[in-house]
Amino acid sequence: MRALDPFLTSLQTNHIVIEISNDGTAPISGVDIVATNTATAISSTTTSVTNIEKVVILDTNWDIGHINPGSAKYLEADVYIPESLKGETLRVPMELTYFNAHGDRHTISRIVDFYIKGLIDAKIYDVRVIDLSGKPTVIGEIINEGNEVALFGFVTLEPMGDSNIIPSTHFIDEIDTDSPVPFNVQLEFDGETKYGEHDIRITVRYKDSLRDEKFIIHDATIFINDPSKSQKSDPDPSQLIILPIVAGIGIFAYLQIKKRKQKATQTS
């Protein structure tokens, strides 16, 4: 009895498949398998041999039936793993009952082990273009909503459709779970800069705690402004401040001159 995939992920429901093989030379029948009661296991021993009481298994009994010699059958179940079991080994005790070719009933016990890894749930958000040092730059954020750090992260930007953006890759290191990880990719073009809309693909590549490589793909449409059209002859803000002051001085001078003329007329 063995698990086809011995790795489970915490904070989510996992679909498990366990293989039951008959390595003997005679068939067995009436095969019935039960995930044994954890409370019984704990009460019969001073130290628990399993931590199955910490997970939720939707099915605990399987009617397997007949297994020919040299062949195997499979049982399936859905198991929810809480965050607290990250990095631990889940031990699932199984009690297998069957009848041999002579009709004798047998019961054997087995333990199926699973390793529980953390969850990396990374997503790409808020992709847009800004002007950085006079060059269009794609920025965005990566948020890891899981409970494990993603390792050796890289961000790759690729053009799609008729975009003439040159592909580029940048190292971003770890993608932690505490806060968003920002990224920025300065754009270079194959030939002349093409202004307007560009379809792009952003791929985040990282490794989990088992050093398995994972990918996140995010397609987006960005818009690159033409600086020659966006530069308008807007008034200088300093001029907006100076002009009222100059106008005020002019009005004050005019009133003073007018006042002096009125006094001169009265004295004459």
pLDDT tens digit string along 105-114?
999 999 999 9
> Do 106 and 63 sit in the same domain of this protein?
yes
Is the pLDDT at 44 greater than 70? The verdict is no
Neighbours of 209 (CB within 10 A): 15
- Into how many domains does the chain fold? 2
Q: Does residue 208 lie in a domain region? A: yes
> Do 88 and 36 sit in the same domain of this protein?
yes
Confidence category of residue 226, pLDDT binned at 50, 70, 90: confident
Instruction: Tell me the DSSP string of 87-124.
Output: TSEEEEEEEEEEE-TT--EEEEEEEEEEEEEPP--EEE
Q: Which token pair is 21?
A: 């093989």
Question: What is the spatial distance between Cα 254 and Cα 250, in angstroms, rounded to a whole number?
Answer: 6
> What pLDDT, on the 0 to 100 scale, is given for residue 246?
44
72-81 and 12-21 strand pairing: antiparallel
Domain limits at 99?
2-117
pLDDT digit string, tens, across residues 134-149: 899 999 999 999 999 9
Residue after which a domain boundary falls, among 63, 84, 117? 117
What is the residue whose two structure tokens read 């793993």? Answer: 81
Average pLDDT of the segment spanning 25-40 = 83
Half-sphere exposure of 258 (CA within 13 A, CB side): 6
Is the pLDDT at 209 greater than 70? The verdict is yes
Q: Does residue 55 lie in a domain region? A: yes
> Do 188 and 219 sit in the same domain of this protein?
yes
> Do 176 and 144 sit in the same domain of this protein?
yes
Q: Identify residue 101 by its one-letter amino acid code.
A: A
> What pLDDT, on the 0 to 100 scale, is given for residue 227?
83
Q: Which residue has the higher pLDDT, 268 or 94?
A: 94
> What pLDDT, on the 0 to 100 scale, is given for residue 46?
45
Contact, 248 vs 256, CB < 8 A? no
pLDDT above 90 covers a percentage of the chain that reads: 72
> Do 127 and 76 sit in the same domain of this protein?
no
> What pLDDT, on the 0 to 100 scale, is given for residue 98?
95
Taking the CA atoms of residue 175, residue 146, residue 114 and residue 68 in that order, the dihedral angle to the nearest 10 degrees is -110
